[in-house]
Chains A and B, each alone.
Chain A
Amino acid sequence: MTSSLNLWLIPVLPLAGAAINGFLGKKSSRTAVSVIGLFFSGAAFAWALQVALRFSSVSLPYQEFFAHWIRSGTFSADFSFYLDQLSLVMLLVVTGVGFLIHIYSVGYMWDDPSYYRFFCYLNLFLFFMLNLVLANNYLLMFIGWEGVGLASYLLIGFWFTKDSAASAGKKAFIVNRIGDFGFLIGLFLIIQHFGSLNFTQVFDQVKPLGIENGGAGLLTAIGILLMVGACGKSAQIPLYVWLPDAMEGPTPVSALIHAATMVTAGVYMVARSHVIFERAPIALTVVAIIGTLTALFAATIGITQTDIKKVLAYSTVSQLGYMFMACGVGAFSAGIFHLMTHAFFKGLLFLGAGSVIHAVGGEQDMRKMGGLRSYIPWTFLTMGIATLAIAGIPPLAGFWSKDEILLKAYQNNWVYWLIGVITAFITSFYMFRLLFMTFWGDYHGVQVDDHGHAHAAHGHDDHGHGEPHESPWVMLGPLVVLAALSLLGGFVGYHNGFEHFLDPVFGSGVTEAAGETVSSATEWILMGVSIAVGFLGLIVAYILYVSKPELPKKVADSLGALYDAVLNKYYVDEIYAKLFVKPLVDGSTSVLWQGVDRKVIDDSINSAADGAQHVSDNVRHMQSGNLRSYAGWIAAGAAVVIAYMIWMGVGR
């Protein structure tokens, strides 16, 4: 180990920014708030870059110890950071995309009355996310894990005067708690059996254990519990329901937290624990099945959504499913690769959607858009690139990572591959549907007059204007940078370069070796298929939404009930409400509130108070105000004392 990398600077910088903006921002000007917000996030990115440049000169994994935190018997958890290839990738993605979205937010949030609060939360989010990524033990990771949940809650409910935003924030928080419960139990199991939460210590003890082929064992249990946690954070079946609602937050938040970084924390955590998962085939299968199902399920919902952000939300859920599918088939590096490219193009898509919403005066319904191509050419161009990227059209970023995942899935089991390809087709279809509905055809939006929007200035993505108009450069800049990354980001995966970079982390994959290798001919065929479905989606979307716009309605009608079910998101929210929420609310009302709280706690306290009052009321009469009765009591008392002393004698 050469000189210290001072990793602590990376999370502490955004924390300082959050503190300054949080405590002083209310009184500062918008310019000052922007400068502070941008400086501290930018500085974190710069330091992360500097770390990346010195990366080859340090021995890996590099660990940095700062302070003892918990020491209890042989168990210890410290404030220390851990840097290897995996955390470096995450570090750069989080700080880089985060910094770009900070820049974008300056333009997007400029008119918001709580401008300083937004930047305070955004910086706070970066702090916790970097903590999560850099932690060297599960407990410190859990701090970051909960912290990003908090930041997410605060930012979803950023416009908390809006009822739907406030309840969406609560929903996200509560659903995440369910996942965290599983995560915590998993951690307890780890502590009980390995006596540590430190990554290196736990994994060193896990490595000698054999693969649990015979059946479910300890590692399977830990793996599944960790996966429950990942399901919550990364919005997988059955805990995905919070993510679409999270779109109530400001669009830059959707881009940063609910697309590019936070929701990928689950993937990161599973990849980080790959040593455990590789030895628990059943847990891995669970991961793969959940990922595959989520990918398909969410993609189908995405087809019918008309809210531009909801489409992207379901698309995010679906792409996260892809990443879990990759992890589940043991291709952790492919999952992380897709995580990175997804951060680029999905961040770009959300920012582009924000730019579109900005252009049409706060409208999010795609049916009221259309023909925006000529009004906002830069947004169109960048979003077009992102759409091509996510659809898997070569040579853009999404193609490389998705192809990698599909190849690995095929090696493991062709069913995963088949569902993956179907999902890829649906993905391509709904993304081009979004693009065509928004940018092609005629503009269906209303001309918002300059006064009409004043009442809605607060609590809406509202910047009401007349004609749709292009966003300022401070918003377009990040779009262009992300577009460049979406264009070129995939090339790090050329000749498996990315995989080799991550080899030291995931190397010696146990299960990966188990999968049959495929010939290069098969590889080419698979690649051809995934390109073909990408273009097929484009063509179908073009036919349905550009050349024959009356067709979608007919298709919808012919599908009948199935279409209704998809349109209503398979009624999952309603089922959850019936199955879990209502019994809980009813139980809480009748048993806990009316029964325990009212009958037991309130009543016992009230009767105690009543009793005290009753007794006091009787005793009160002794205080008559009659001087002579007092004197009489004193005399009687003195007589009693004297009698006692005479009877017992004076103690000597």
Chain B
Amino acid sequence: MVPLSYYLVLSGILFACGVTGFLIKRNIITIFMSIELMLNGVNLSFVAFAAHWHAIGGEAHGLVPLSGQVFVFFVMVVAAAESAVGLAIIIAVHRTRETLNVDQVNLLKL
């Protein structure tokens, strides 16, 4: 069985990739994908912990079965809804500003 730490390290790497992409990329689509990457990094740690606690018999200590997996579904639903709204905004931005470079979308800046 693959130890828990492997999953967590992978989860951390995915999250760090997301953060890095969010910070250095200028294209909104890429930034958006970086956010999804961070969310999925978190999802991975959710299911890893869920499986781990189940394997060591956490139910005896008050753990609700499958709660980690259910959380992942919630995150996915929220991410899907966010993508729908986010992509609509990106299209609207593209139509009005004719660019997807975030540095040029600065009308709200003081």
User: Known: A635-B19, A635-B23. Is A628-B102 also a contact (CB below 8 A)?
Assistant: yes
Q: Which residue of chain B is the closest to A628 with respect to CB atoms?
A: B23
* Residue B46 lies at the interface, judged by CB distance under 8 Å to chain A: no
When chains A and B are docked, how far (Å) is the Cα of A626 from the Cα of B24? 12
* Residue B98 lies at the interface, judged by CB distance under 8 Å to chain A: no
Q: Verify B23–A625 contact, CB threshold 8 A.
A: no
Q: Which residue of chain A is the closest to B28 with respect to CB atoms?
A: A627
Q: Verify B23–A623 contact, CB threshold 8 A.
A: no
Quote the shortest CB–CB distance from A78 to chain B (angstroms). Answer: 65
Quote the shortest CB–CB distance from B33 to chain A (angstroms). Answer: 15
Q: Which residues of B contact A632 (CB under 8 A)?
A: 23
Q: Verify B22–A631 contact, CB threshold 8 A.
A: yes
Among A625, A627, A631, which residue has its beta carbon within 8 angstroms of that of B110? A625
Q: Which residue of chain B is the closest to A627 with respect to CB atoms?
A: B102
Among A625, A631, A635, which residue has its beta carbon within 8 angstroms of that of B109? A625
Q: Verify A626–B19 contact, CB threshold 8 A.
A: no
Quote the shortest CB–CB distance from A646 to chain B (angstroms). Answer: 13
Q: Which residues of A contact B108 (CB under 8 A)?
A: 625
Interface residues on B, range: 10 to 19
Q: Which residue of chain B is the closest to A620 with respect to CB atoms?
A: B110
Q: How many A-B residue pairs have CB under 8 A?
A: 18
State the interface size on chain A (CB cutoff 8 A).
9
User: Known: A625-B108, A625-B109, A625-B110. Is A631-B103 also a contact (CB below 8 A)?
Assistant: no
When chains A and B are docked, how far (Å) is the Cα of A631 from the Cα of B106? 15
Q: Verify B110–A626 contact, CB threshold 8 A.
A: no
Q: Which residue of chain A is the closest to B16 with respect to CB atoms?
A: A635
When chains A and B are docked, how far (Å) is the Cα of A627 from the Cα of B24? 11
Q: Which residue of chain B is the closest to A626 with respect to CB atoms?
A: B103
Q: Which residues of B contact A624 (CB under 8 A)?
A: 109
Q: Which residues of A contact B23 (CB under 8 A)?
A: 628, 631-632, 635
When chains A and B are docked, how far (Å) is the Cα of A234 from the Cα of B24? 88
When chains A and B are docked, how far (Å) is the Cα of A632 from the Cα of B24? 10
Quote the shortest CB–CB distance from B34 to chain A (angstroms). Answer: 10
Q: Which residues of B contact A623 (CB under 8 A)?
A: 110
Quote the shortest CB–CB distance from B27 to chain A (angstroms). Answer: 12
Q: Which residues of B contact A627 (CB under 8 A)?
A: 102
User: What 1/0 flags go to B20-34 for Cβ under 8 Å of A?
Assistant: 001110000000000
Q: Verify A628–B22 contact, CB threshold 8 A.
A: yes
Q: Which residue of chain B is the closest to A629 with respect to CB atoms?
A: B23
Q: Verify A625–B102 contact, CB threshold 8 A.
A: no
Q: Which residues of A contact B110 (CB under 8 A)?
A: 623, 625
Q: Which residue of chain A is the closest to B106 with respect to CB atoms?
A: A625
When chains A and B are docked, how far (Å) is the Cα of A627 from the Cα of B108? 11
When chains A and B are docked, how far (Å) is the Cα of A412 from the Cα of B68? 112
Q: Which residue of chain A is the closest to B20 with respect to CB atoms?
A: A635
When chains A and B are docked, how far (Å) is the Cα of A626 from the Cα of B103? 7
Q: Which residues of B contact A635 (CB under 8 A)?
A: 19, 23
Q: Which residue of chain A is the closest to B25 with respect to CB atoms?
A: A628
Q: Which residues of A contact B109 (CB under 8 A)?
A: 624-625
When chains A and B are docked, how far (Å) is the Cα of A632 from the Cα of B19? 9
State which residues 63-110 of B face A: CB under 8 Å.
Answer: 102-103, 106, 108-110
When chains A and B are docked, how far (Å) is the Cα of A635 from the Cα of B19? 8
When chains A and B are docked, how far (Å) is the Cα of A504 from the Cα of B24? 104
When chains A and B are docked, how far (Å) is the Cα of A625 from the Cα of B108? 8
When chains A and B are docked, how far (Å) is the Cα of A261 from the Cα of B107? 77
When chains A and B are docked, how far (Å) is the Cα of A623 from the Cα of B102? 16
User: What 1/0 flags go to A605-639 for Cβ under 8 Å of B?
Assistant: 00000000000000000011111100110010000
When chains A and B are docked, how far (Å) is the Cα of A623 from the Cα of B108? 12
State which residues 1-27 of B face A: CB under 8 Å.
Answer: 19, 22-24
When chains A and B are docked, how far (Å) is the Cα of A175 from the Cα of B110? 60
When chains A and B are docked, how far (Å) is the Cα of A609 from the Cα of B106? 31
When chains A and B are docked, how far (Å) is the Cα of A631 from the Cα of B108? 17
Find the residue from A625, A626, A627 having the highest chain B CB count within 10 A: A627
Quote the shortest CB–CB distance from A645 to chain B (angstroms). Answer: 15
Q: Which residues of A contact B19 (CB under 8 A)?
A: 631, 635
State which residues 30-51 of B face A: CB under 8 Å.
Answer: none
Q: Which residues of A contact B102 (CB under 8 A)?
A: 627-628
Quote the shortest CB–CB distance from A650 to chain B (angstroms). Answer: 16
Quote the shortest CB–CB distance from A635 to chain B (angstroms). Answer: 5
When chains A and B are docked, how far (Å) is the Cα of A627 from the Cα of B35? 14
Quote the shortest CB–CB distance from A84 to chain B (angstroms). Answer: 79
Q: Which residues of A contact B22 (CB under 8 A)?
A: 628, 631
Q: Which residue of chain A is the closest to B110 with respect to CB atoms?
A: A625
Find the residue from A623, A628, A635 having the highest chain B CB count within 10 A: A628
Q: Which residues of A contact B24 (CB under 8 A)?
A: 628
Q: Which residue of chain B is the closest to A632 with respect to CB atoms?
A: B23
When chains A and B are docked, how far (Å) is the Cα of A475 from the Cα of B13? 105
Quote the shortest CB–CB distance from B106 to chain A (angstroms). Answer: 6
When chains A and B are docked, how far (Å) is the Cα of A625 from the Cα of B23? 14
Quote the shortest CB–CB distance from A307 to chain B (angstroms). Answer: 70
Quote the shortest CB–CB distance from A45 to chain B (angstroms). Answer: 74
Quote the shortest CB–CB distance from A636 to chain B (angstroms). Answer: 10
When chains A and B are docked, how far (Å) is the Cα of A624 from the Cα of B102? 13
When chains A and B are docked, how far (Å) is the Cα of A628 from the Cα of B22? 7
When chains A and B are docked, how far (Å) is the Cα of A626 from the Cα of B109? 8
State which residues 98-133 of A face B: CB under 8 Å.
Answer: none
State which residues 308-342 of A face B: CB under 8 Å.
Answer: none
Q: Which residues of A contact B106 (CB under 8 A)?
A: 625
When chains A and B are docked, how far (Å) is the Cα of A635 from the Cα of B22? 10
When chains A and B are docked, how far (Å) is the Cα of A625 from the Cα of B104? 11
When chains A and B are docked, how far (Å) is the Cα of A552 from the Cα of B23? 106
Quote the shortest CB–CB distance from A28 to chain B (angstroms). Answer: 59
Quote the shortest CB–CB distance from B30 to chain A (angstroms). Answer: 12
When chains A and B are docked, how far (Å) is the Cα of A631 from the Cα of B22? 8
Quote the shortest CB–CB distance from A218 to chain B (angstroms). Answer: 73
Quote the shortest CB–CB distance from B2 to chain A (angstroms). Answer: 24
Q: Which residue of chain B is the closest to A624 with respect to CB atoms?
A: B109
4 pairs of A and B residues whose beta carbons are closest in the complex: A625-B109, A628-B23, A635-B19, A632-B23
**Interface residues, chain A, with chain B CB atoms under 8 Å away:** 623-628, 631-632, 635
A-B contact pairs, 9 of them (CB 8 A): A624-B109, A625-B108, A625-B109, A625-B110, A627-B102, A628-B23, A628-B24, A628-B102, A632-B23
Since A625-B109, A625-B110 are in contact, a sample of 16 more A-B pairs with Cβ atoms closer than 8 Å, ordered by chain A residue number, is A623-B110, A624-B109, A625-B106, A625-B108, A626-B103, A627-B102, A628-B22, A628-B23, A628-B24, A628-B102, A631-B19, A631-B22, A631-B23, A632-B23, A635-B19, A635-B23
